[in-house]
Chains A and B, each alone.
Chain A
Amino acid sequence: DMHTRKAILLSCGSFNPPTIAHLRMMELARDHLQSLPSPYTVIEGIFSPVSGSYVHKPLASDHHRLTMLEKAVECSEWLRADDWEQRRGKWSRSREVLHHHRQTARHRFKDSNIDCFMVCGGDLVDSFTRILPDGSSLWAIEDLKTIVEDFGIIVVKRPGSEPSKTLKKIGLSSYKCHSIEENTCPNELSSTLLRAAIAQNKSIKYCTPDGVIDYIHQSGLYKAVNGHKANEENSVINNPRI
């Protein structure tokens, strides 16, 4: 093993707005891969914000969310925001976004073995077994197989939860599934909580990088309008790409 394997990390979502929890997940994932017995070198981490056109809940505009992400990663040497998903002009499955970025990285870094892991929270893995009202599965099993076994996932889980059990339930191998816990900065921060704080004129300083906060204030995002919260969402996972 003269050469360590290389990997890039991908984080998908609304980022409405981005928070330090999103950033922490990437740091944890990188730490984990780089300290495995057969370690990876993580060469970049990509935030891919979903396009609001194809999601059935009100989000700040694509431009706002992309810009906030750019500001969030401004001072990071290895994280970046990417707008391929937004620019596509159509709805994207997670596995397509993974495929695009792995291709691109393999080409750019001239290494056909670069891996691309999806970084996510335990709630996303929980959603793998969800059944819709009409009885169909939220996720297509072949998509899950591709994501979990071909690409690989790094799950930042809540203490006590077991993502590998969920995968086993649906017949997937956990060999490329890494479960990790946030023991340094345990938090329940979420975009939902941040939006609520902004609407109530409460301070969100230190919950997201300063550049994001300045941008939110300058653009008047998430302020309460006539007593109602702007951009309210009803559930954490409303319409994930499947």
Chain B
Amino acid sequence: YSSARVSIDDRTLATVIFRLGMGGTTKRAILLSCGSFNPPTLAHLRMMELARDHLRSLPCPYTVVEGLFSPVSSTYVHKPLAEDEHRLAMLERATASSGWMRVDEWETRRGEWTRTKEVLRHHRAAARQRWSDDHLDCFLVCGGDLVDSFARLLPDGSRLWAAEDVKAIVEEYGIVVITRDGSSPAATLASFSLSLERAFTVSDRACPNDVSSTRLREALAEGRSIRYCTQDGVVDYILQHGLYGSSKAKAAAAAVAAAGCASTGSVAAAAVAAGAAAKSPPLNGIQSEKTLQNRWLENGDAVP
């Protein structure tokens, strides 16, 4: 930094004055990201960085002390996910090079399905204790699709999310929504008549992207590279363990190379068919117990 000169702009000056007024301390916050992370992608990681940048640059800025990825347990989600241990291991590798983000397994170890509000409650309490700070805030970081799902109605007309849960998440904890194309989650939130003081919308101006776990799984099933779509350690882990059909795709590619040109089309197609995971709607876990019960009953499974 020796040759860079820093100029004080208005916002920096305002922040300095604010912090002096606060006795030199800013409010602390932790960030929580919930989901399947099946697998974790560049987008998951960018979301946290953006949320942190945003909270740090508010007129009343936060010091973000920690970012947590809390993967849902595959036992309680009605779609095929890689096992908990794999997704935890991938998140560990995804966050290895970060000085402030980590994976947390409280949710996976609970032995029962957990509402988002509960995960927030647990982590805020734990952090308040750890930092001896009763005012430490815990924000949920998520994509626009999660906020869209707040308004979703089930086939029977009931709400996917309990209204009091949405209220708690948005008003008591707070939410940082990362969106593309300036789409506005505010409209959905407004329909709940919520105070939006703790609701922030951010878009990724540095790296606008549409990467998703679904796209990565498709690429892996088709034997295509996912390098640079997620951290190297995650890519290596997936290939080592042959997750998401990558071993079948690899075997198919090897067979093609051995056999020469002739049967390329059929072998590759077979690999895609064998490895392709069923597509499911991009919902980050099911939010109401009633929904979970209904879905299991629909499919004839016993309710646990």
Q: How far is the CA of A205 from the CA of B53 in the complex (A)?
A: 11
Does B158 sit at the interface, judged by CB under 8 A?
no
Shortest C-beta distance, A171 to chain B (Å), equals 31
Judge whether A189 and B257 touch: CB under 8 Å: no
> Contacts A31-B224, A35-B223, A205-B45 given: A226-B7 contact, CB under 8 Å?
yes
Residues of B at under 8 Å CB distance from A? 1-5, 7, 9, 42, 45-46, 49-50, 52-53, 97-98, 205-211, 215-216, 218-219, 223-229, 231-232, 253, 256-257, 260-261, 264-265, 268
Judge whether A185 and B264 touch: CB under 8 Å: no
Does A30 sit at the interface, judged by CB under 8 A?
yes
**Interface core residue of B52, B225, B231 (most chain A CB under 10 Å):** B225
Interface of A: prevailing SS: loop
Judge whether B215 and A183 touch: CB under 8 Å: yes
Chain A contacts for B9, CB-based, 8 A? 227
Judge whether A206 and B45 touch: CB under 8 Å: yes
Interface size on A, residues (CB 8 A): 42
CB under 8 Å from chain B, chain A span 161-213:
183-189, 193-194, 196-197, 202-207, 210
9 A-B residue pairings within 8 Å (CB atoms): A20-B42, A35-B253, A38-B261, A39-B264, A183-B215, A202-B205, A203-B53, A206-B45, A207-B206
B206's contact among A34, A35, A193, A223, by CB below 8 Å, is which? A193
Shortest C-beta distance, A84 to chain B (Å), equals 25
Chain B contacts for A183, CB-based, 8 A? 215, 218-219
Q: How far is the CA of A1 from the CA of B299 in the complex (A)?
A: 51
Interface of B: prevailing SS: loop
Q: How far is the CA of A20 from the CA of B42 in the complex (A)?
A: 10
Contacts A186-B210, A197-B206 known; 7 new A-B pairs at CB < 8 A: A24-B228, A75-B232, A184-B216, A189-B206, A205-B46, A205-B49, A206-B42
Chain B contacts for A197, CB-based, 8 A? 205-206
Does A132 sit at the interface, judged by CB under 8 A?
no
Shortest C-beta distance, B273 to chain A (Å), equals 16
Chain A contacts for B207, CB-based, 8 A? 20, 187, 189, 193-194, 204, 206-207
**Interface core residue of A2, A34, A227 (most chain B CB under 10 Å):** A34
Judge whether A210 and B225 touch: CB under 8 Å: no
Shortest C-beta distance, A222 to chain B (Å), equals 10
Judge whether A185 and B211 touch: CB under 8 Å: yes
Judge whether B229 and A24 touch: CB under 8 Å: yes
